[in-house]
């Protein structure tokens, strides 16, 4: 719908038809200021000027035929109508256009203003804001080409402050790698995982289950974020911890290790950033928080091997298959954990389950650091032990020392740490250090956060009575 006939009538529209093309009559033009209170001042001289031009050559003729317009009318009556050859009187409402070309100019300017006003209203109603609406209204006379506002200074002046996700990711990505593992079998089984630069010598830390398929006769390749790929070999693996260390065969100079944080000082609610290759999508960054600490997790890779145990950091940062072995960073960019397992909707924990549901688990970096150093030194893992076999199936009442060990051996190793602390078969361990114990896997997860030789207070129940003892942890070398 046209906007020219909407709203209050424009005073200029009343002035335009009041001046038909007549001979100049200066004495009769004088009364025209009478309707001035209702008309705009600017358009009034324009019709008079234009009327003089086409009638200047006509001689004045005494008034005869047309009757004067009644005085109450707000329009100027024709005076001294020509006789003889003068054409018949003009129609009551003269045609717009040729006789008065200036008259349409004012409505066009107001129409542009009205359209601008409508545009401004729609912008404000849409939530864009008064600033853009004002910008559009100010340029209404020149037409509308765009209502987009751009900041020409942004690309040159915008900086990402340290601590932002973008800044942390930009600094960490060059030190995170995607690992391709292929087994030595004829089918070429393997998978994709993640790792990160541990030192300048070319050591890469990752999960054991990422490289297990290639550990015996397979091949490993490591690709950096810049696309450069290097061959790698396994230095050592710790199946129980689910930690492995690789080394680049031809390590480039200038490697930048990721800084290691302190997982013991992490607090629930701290920000987390996970970097990995979920489903093969390298250099993927996700964010979340530390959802919980000391979460006991027993996970397996689905290959029939032994489970790994961890007192894990739980995070809601999106972790999927392919993120395994990648770093879990804090807000400063320091590694606080190694992403290792997720909870699936089908129940149970695993390293190769379906997509993330916001329950991811990472090996605390303090534990992973100790394991990595041991693997680099000797190539074999060392586990702290209490020298007792506990029931791994019961849950909720603590960790019960079994009646006998594997193969019919004694459940409490003679002269072992538990025996020296006075523990016996049937005792139920309910506390290890400051952490409550509700099952065998939970106990193992807590034991493995310590080192051989550490002294730890144990709370246990025997015959319905609670007692405490101090155990000095022993050690076991290798995964056998």
What pLDDT score does 201 carry?
94
Is residue 229 over pLDDT 60?
A: yes
Q: Please tell me the distance from the alpha carbon of residue 293 to that of residue 37, in angstroms, as a whole number.
A: 82
Q: What is the mean pLDDT of residues 41-54?
A: 44
pLDDT digits (tens, 9 = 90+) for 137-187: 344 445 545 555 555 555 555 677 777 999 999 999 999 999 999 987 655
Highest mean pLDDT among 40-44, 151-155, 332-336: 332-336
Q: Which residues are catalytic?
A: 209, 242, 324
What pLDDT score does 149 carry?
56
DSSP E strand boundaries for 395-472: 399-400, 428-432, 435-436, 455-462, 465-472
- Going by pLDDT thresholds of 50, 70 and 90, the confidence category of residue 70 is low
Indicate the Cα dihedral angle 473, 474, 479, 480, nearest 10°.
Answer: -140
What pLDDT score does 156 carry?
55
Pick from 235-249, 290-304, 455-469: least confident: 290-304
- The overall average pLDDT reported for the chain is 76
Non-local CB neighbours of 14 within 8 Å, separated by 6+ positions: 35, 38, 39, 74
What pLDDT score does 345 carry?
67
What pLDDT score does 222 carry?
96
pLDDT digits (tens, 9 = 90+) for 396-406: 789 999 998 88
Are the C-beta atoms of 55 and 24 separated by less than 8 Å?
A: yes
- Going by pLDDT thresholds of 50, 70 and 90, the confidence category of residue 105 is low
**Pure H helices in 96-204:** 105-125, 130-138, 154-157, 165-172
Pick from 29-38, 119-128, 367-376: least confident: 119-128
What pLDDT score does 87 carry?
55
Q: Please tell me the distance from the alpha carbon of residue 229 to that of residue 331, in angstroms, as a whole number.
A: 29
Would you give the DSSP letter of residue 204?
E
Is residue 128 over pLDDT 70?
A: no
Is residue 434 over pLDDT 60?
A: yes
What pLDDT score does 13 carry?
43
- Going by pLDDT thresholds of 50, 70 and 90, the confidence category of residue 450 is very high
Q: Please tell me the distance from the alpha carbon of residue 471 to that of residue 455, in angstroms, as a whole number.
A: 6
Q: Please tell me the distance from the alpha carbon of residue 50 to that of residue 47, in angstroms, as a whole number.
A: 5
Non-local CB neighbours of 269 within 8 Å, separated by 6+ positions: 289, 290
Is residue 133 over pLDDT 80?
A: no
**Complete DSSP assignment for 386-409:** -SB-B-SS-BSS-EEBPSS-GGG-
Would you give the DSSP letter of residue 255?
-
Is residue 422 over pLDDT 90?
A: yes
Q: Please tell me the distance from the alpha carbon of residue 439 to that of residue 447, in angstroms, as a whole number.
A: 13
Tokens for 468?
């405490």
Q: Bridge-partner residues for 468, per DSSP?
A: 459
Please list, residue by residue across 289-319, b when 16 or more beta carbons sit within 10 angstroms of its beta carbon and e when fewer do.
Answer: ebbebbbbbbbbbeeeeebbbbbbbbbbbbb
Pairing of strands 243-248, 308-315: unpaired
Q: Bridge-partner residues for 428, per DSSP?
A: 400, 461
What pLDDT score does 183 carry?
85
Is residue 275 over pLDDT 90?
A: yes
**Complete DSSP assignment for 291-323:** EEEEEEEEEB-SSS---EEEEEEEE-S---TT-
Are the C-beta atoms of 417 and 474 separated by less than 8 Å?
A: yes
Instruction: Select the more confidently predicted residue: 76 or 406.
Output: 406
Is residue 63 over pLDDT 60?
A: no
Non-local CB neighbours of 43 within 8 Å, separated by 6+ positions: 11, 12, 15, 16, 102, 103, 106
Q: Bridge-partner residues for 232, per DSSP?
A: 220, 248
Residue 479 Cα to chain centre, angstroms: 41
Q: Bridge-partner residues for 399, per DSSP?
A: 429
At 335, is the secondary structure helix, strand, or coil?
Answer: strand
Pairing of strands 219-223, 229-238: antiparallel
Q: What is the mean pLDDT of residues 112-118?
A: 41
How do the residues of the chain divide into helix, strand and coil, expressed in percent and rounded to 5? 25, 25, 50
Is residue 26 over pLDDT 80?
A: no
Non-local CB neighbours of 480 within 8 Å, separated by 6+ positions: none
- Going by pLDDT thresholds of 50, 70 and 90, the confidence category of residue 59 is very low
Q: What is the mean pLDDT of residues 330-346?
A: 89
- Going by pLDDT thresholds of 50, 70 and 90, the confidence category of residue 393 is confident
């Amino acid at each position: 719908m046209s906007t020219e006939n909407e709203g209050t009538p424009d005073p200029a529209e009343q002035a335009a038809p009041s001046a038909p093309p007549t001979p100049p009559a200066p004495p009769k033009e004088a009364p025209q200021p009478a309707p001035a209170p209702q008309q705009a001042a600017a358009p009034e001289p324009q019709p008079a000027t234009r009327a003089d031009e086409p009638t200047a050559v006509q001689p004045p003729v005494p008034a005869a035929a047309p009757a004067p317009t009644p005085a109450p009318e707000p329009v100027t009556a024709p005076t001294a109508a020509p006789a003889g050859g003068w054409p018949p009187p003009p129609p009551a409402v003269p045609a717009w256009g040729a006789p008065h070309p200036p008259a349409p100019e004012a409505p066009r300017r107001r129409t542009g203003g009205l359209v601008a006003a409508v545009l401004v209203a729609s912008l404000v109603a849409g939530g864009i804001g008064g600033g853009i609406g004002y910008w559009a209204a100010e340029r209404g006379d020149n037409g509308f080409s765009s209502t987009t506002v751009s900041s020409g200074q942004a690309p040159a002046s915008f900086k990402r402050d340290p601590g932002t996700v973008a800044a942390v990711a930009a600094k960490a990505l060059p030190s995170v790698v995607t690992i391709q593992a292929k087994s030595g079998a004829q089918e070429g089984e393997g998978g994709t995982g993640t790792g990160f630069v541990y030192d300048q010598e070319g050591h890469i830390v990752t999960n054991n289950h990422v490289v297990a398929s290639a550990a015996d006769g397979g091949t490993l390749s490591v690709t950096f974020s810049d696309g450069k790929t290097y061959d790698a070999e396994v230095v050592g693996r710790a199946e129980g911890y689910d930690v492995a260390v690789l080394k680049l065969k031809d390590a480039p100079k200038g490697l930048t290790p990721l800084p290691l944080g302190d997982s013991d000082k992490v607090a629930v609610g701290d920000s987390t950033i996970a970097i990995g290759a979920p489903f093969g999508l390298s250099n993927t960054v996700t964010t979340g928080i530390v959802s919980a600490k000391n979460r006991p997790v027993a996970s397996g890779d689905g290959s029939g091997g032994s489970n790994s145990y961890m007192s894990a950091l739980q995070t809601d940062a999106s972790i999927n298959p392919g993120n395994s072995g990648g770093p879990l960073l804090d807000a400063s960019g320091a590694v606080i954990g190694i992403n290792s397992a997720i909870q699936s909707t089908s129940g149970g924990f695993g390293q190769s389950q379906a997509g993330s549901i916001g329950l991811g688990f990472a090996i605390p970096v303090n534990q992973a650091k100790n394991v990595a150093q041991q693997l680099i030194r000797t190539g074999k893992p060392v586990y702290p032990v209490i020298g007792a076999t506990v029931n791994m199936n019961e849950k909720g009442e603590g960790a019960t020392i079994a009646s006998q060990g594997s193969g019919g051996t004694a459940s409490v190793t003679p002269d072992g740490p538990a025996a020296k602390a006075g523990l016996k078969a049937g005792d139920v361990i309910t506390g290890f250090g400051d952490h409550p114990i509700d099952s065998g896997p939970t106990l193992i997860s807590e034991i493995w956060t310590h080192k051989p030789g550490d002294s730890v207070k144990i709370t246990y129940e025997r015959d319905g009575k609670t007692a405490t003892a101090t155990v000095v942890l022993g050690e076991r070398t290798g995964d056998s």
